[in-house]
Amino acid sequence: MTGRVIVITSGKGGVGKTTTSANIGTALAKAGNKVVLIDTDIGLRNLDLLLGLENRIVYTIVDVVEERCKLKQALVKDKKNPNLSLLAAAQTRDKTSVSQEQLKDICDQLKKKYDFILVDCPAGIEQGFQNAVAGASEAIVVTTPEMSAVRDADRIIGLLEAKEEIESYKLLLNRVRPNLIESNDMMSVEDVVEILSAELIGVIPEDTGIITSTNKGEPIVNDETSLAGQAYRNVAKRIMGEDVPFLDLTQPKGFMAKIKNLFTKLKGKV
Amino acid sequence: MKDLFANLYNKVLSFFHQSENKDRESAKDVACNRLKLVLMQDRTNLSPAIMDRMRNELIDLLSKYLELDKELLDLNFEQEDEQMALMLSIPVIRAKEESEILALLEAEEAGVNEEEVDEDEESDEDDNSDDVQEEKEETDESEENASDTPDEEEPENDSEEEEEK
């Protein structure tokens, strides 16, 4: 079998790459796929925390490339889902500890045994980014409806387009706040898609549940009642090729708005 | 009951706020416009030196046929729908006489033949700058724009000239 290698990247830090990796990975595994998450943020690892696996890590990606252990030994199985494994980043080293060729080699080995290999990319466009992208053939560009995040996403898209190995890239819009969009204080999903002219794979609403789920080391896709969790599950389905409509994130309307709506409807009938 | 009044008061207040906001440009529109501009600059990765060179070469080329106001010549990238376009605004003082142009071109051809040996060394440099320009397909449009603009602006500038006289 040949698995798909997808890099999750953004350029700007703090837009939710790691949260996205953890959630999409968990959702794909829950749907029955064999998934490996690779944390390439060497020196600043966090994916282990979001999955609640920080106490189980013995070997890291640097141990694998420096041949202190076999690749299989460094894969940490998730607590709940045996389909999901993590290859952690080293915390005490830096991005130069791994080369592009080495990462590509690791991805190629994992492709033979897993359905999906998700590569969590560090912020920036330097070696860490180049490493993370090296083994991937697809990319998910995470951004938020903020100017700096969109600008950085545009830069990343330019770099991805220049890479022959990347066959396709999709946009994931994170931390969307429908009430701010409605009041015209924030760029809408359509605005961002138009500016970046990229295909959308998901829209994730801002959700305080993300904070509590991170604190517990439990990805929010495991929470069936969460809207953000639902949005991430939909992203996973779209990755698997299902045609899932985007969630309607508009807030339930107030009393006045309902009356106004009623009048406009009546007006239309008359 | 008190809550109801407070609620109503807020609704009235927010209604007035909304109508006030309509006059001003929304934060979203400001963000979109600023972003579009900055991305345009980001996407054109030509250095000021190269832009200057392109500008000078265009002036040299067009000066064969037109008398231009070189100081006011304006060259910049703009976003047209999904496509980036090179916009040229060239104030034309007057179009040259055909005989004048032909004489200039003939003189130039004769000059090129003489200088051919000297120019061989420089030709490498010229090739490089050509490559840079070819990276942007849109530069092709510049010629279209360049030929459009003078026609439009010609009469205007002519009249200005006459007034000055």
The pLDDT assigned to B116 comes to: 55
Please name the residues between 18 and 47 in chain B that touch chain A, using a CB distance below 8 Å. Answer: 21, 26-29, 31-32, 34-36, 38-39, 42-43
The pLDDT assigned to A243 comes to: 95
Please name the residues between 133 and 172 in chain A that touch chain B, using a CB distance below 8 Å. Answer: 147, 150-151, 154-155, 158
The pLDDT assigned to A205 comes to: 96
**Is the Cβ–Cβ distance between A29 and A79 less than 8 Å?**
no
Distance between A183 CA and the closest CA of chain B, angstroms: 9
The better pLDDT of the pair A259, B124 is held by A259
* CA–CA distance, A13 with A192 (Å, rounded to integer): 18
Distance between B121 CA and the closest CA of chain A, angstroms: 33
State whether A181 and B28 contact (CB < 8 Å). yes
The pLDDT assigned to B43 comes to: 80
Domain limits, chain A: 4-269
The better pLDDT of the pair B77, B139 is held by B77
Closest chain B CA to residue A188: B28
B1: DSSP letter: -
Whether pLDDT at B67 is above 80: yes
Closest chain A CA to residue B42: A155
CB atoms within 10 A of CB A84: 29
* CA–CA distance, A253 with A256 (Å, rounded to integer): 8
Which of B26, B29, B34 is facing A147, going by the closest CB pair? B34
The pLDDT assigned to B63 comes to: 87
Distance between B11 CA and the closest CA of chain A, angstroms: 8
Q: Give the model's confidence band at B131: pLDDT under 50 very low, under 70 low, under 90 confident, else very high.
A: very low
List, for residues A118-147, the tens digit of each pLDDT value: 999 999 999 999 999 999 999 999 999 999
With 0-12 / 13-18 / 19 or more C-beta atoms within 10 angstroms meaning exposed / middle / buried, residue A121 is buried
Q: Is A199 on the interface with B (CB under 8 A)?
A: no
* CA–CA distance, B153 with A102 (Å, rounded to integer): 60
**Is the Cβ–Cβ distance between A96 and A42 less than 8 Å?**
no
pTM confidence score: 0.71
**Is the Cβ–Cβ distance between A245 and A222 less than 8 Å?**
no
Whether pLDDT at B36 is above 80: yes
Which of B27, B32, B38 is facing A151, going by the closest CB pair? B38
The pLDDT assigned to B154 comes to: 40
Q: Is A70 on the interface with B (CB under 8 A)?
A: no
State whether B42 and A151 contact (CB < 8 Å). yes
The pLDDT assigned to A262 comes to: 66
Q: Which residues pair with A84 in a beta bridge?
A: A35
Question: What Rg value do the Cα atoms of chain B yield, rounded?
Answer: 26
Backbone dihedral region of B26: left (phi > 0), alpha (psi from -120 to 50 degrees) or beta?
Answer: beta
The pLDDT assigned to A29 comes to: 97
Tokens for A47, please give them: 């994916």
Closest chain A CA to residue B8: A256
State whether A184 and B35 contact (CB < 8 Å). no
**Is the Cβ–Cβ distance between A256 and B11 less than 8 Å?**
yes
Locus of tokens 């809550």: B3
Q: Give the model's confidence band at B114: pLDDT under 50 very low, under 70 low, under 90 confident, else very high.
A: low
Which of A151, A155, A185 is facing B28, going by the closest CB pair? A185
Residues B112-123 have a mean pLDDT of 54
For residue B34, the SS3 value is helix
**Is the Cβ–Cβ distance between A182 and A13 less than 8 Å?**
no
Locus of tokens 């959702």: A27
State whether A158 and B35 contact (CB < 8 Å). no
Q: Which residues pair with A203 in a beta bridge?
A: A173
With 0-12 / 13-18 / 19 or more C-beta atoms within 10 angstroms meaning exposed / middle / buried, residue A238 is middle
| Chain A partners within 8 Å of B34 (Cβ) | 147
In the CATH hierarchy, which fold is given to the domain comprising A4-269? Rossmann fold (3.40.50)
Q: What is the ipTM of this complex?
A: 0.79
Share of chain B above pLDDT 70, in %: 56
* CA–CA distance, A106 with A39 (Å, rounded to integer): 12
> What is the average pLDDT score of chain A?
93
The pLDDT assigned to B8 comes to: 76
| Chain A partners within 8 Å of B38 (Cβ) | 147, 151
Which residue numbers in chain A have pLDDT < 70? Answer: 251-270
